């Protein structure tokens, strides 16, 4: 039971880290292409902040 819980938490941490990197790359590409703010940035930055919070929570619970 303990190892399966560890595996699930590790997979969630990896999933959120990969998602965070993907969103950051998308944000960078959009900023590089447009060089100005548009409404989609607010939602994208919001999702990144929520993912950072969840990733931090998972890492703290994991320890």
Whole-structure pTM over 0.85, yes or no? Answer: no
Is pLDDT above 60 for 1?
no
Q: 8-23: per-residue pLDDT in tens?
A: 888 888 888 888 888 8
Give residue for tokens 């447009």. Answer: 34
- pLDDT tens sequence across 14-49: 888 888 888 888 888 887 887 777 777 788 888 888
Tell me how far the alpha carbon of residue 47 is from its chain's centroid: 7
User: What local confidence, expressed as pLDDT, does residue 63 receive?
Assistant: 64
Q: How far apart are CA 49 and CA 20, in angstroms?
A: 9
- What CA–CA distances, in Å, run from 21 to 4, 33, 41, 55, 56? 26, 18, 16, 12, 15
- Provide the pLDDT confidence category of residue 2 given band limits of 50, 70 and 90: low
Give the Cα separation of 58 and 16 in Å (integer).
9
């Amino acid at each position: 039971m303990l190892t399966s819980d560890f595996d699930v938490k590790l997979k969630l941490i990896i999933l959120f880290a990969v998602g965070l990197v993907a969103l950051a790359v998308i944000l960078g590409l959009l900023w590089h292409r447009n060089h100005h703010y548009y409404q989609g940035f607010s939602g994208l930055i919001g999702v990144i902040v929520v993912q950072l919070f969840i990733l931090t929570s998972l890492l703290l619970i994991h320890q």
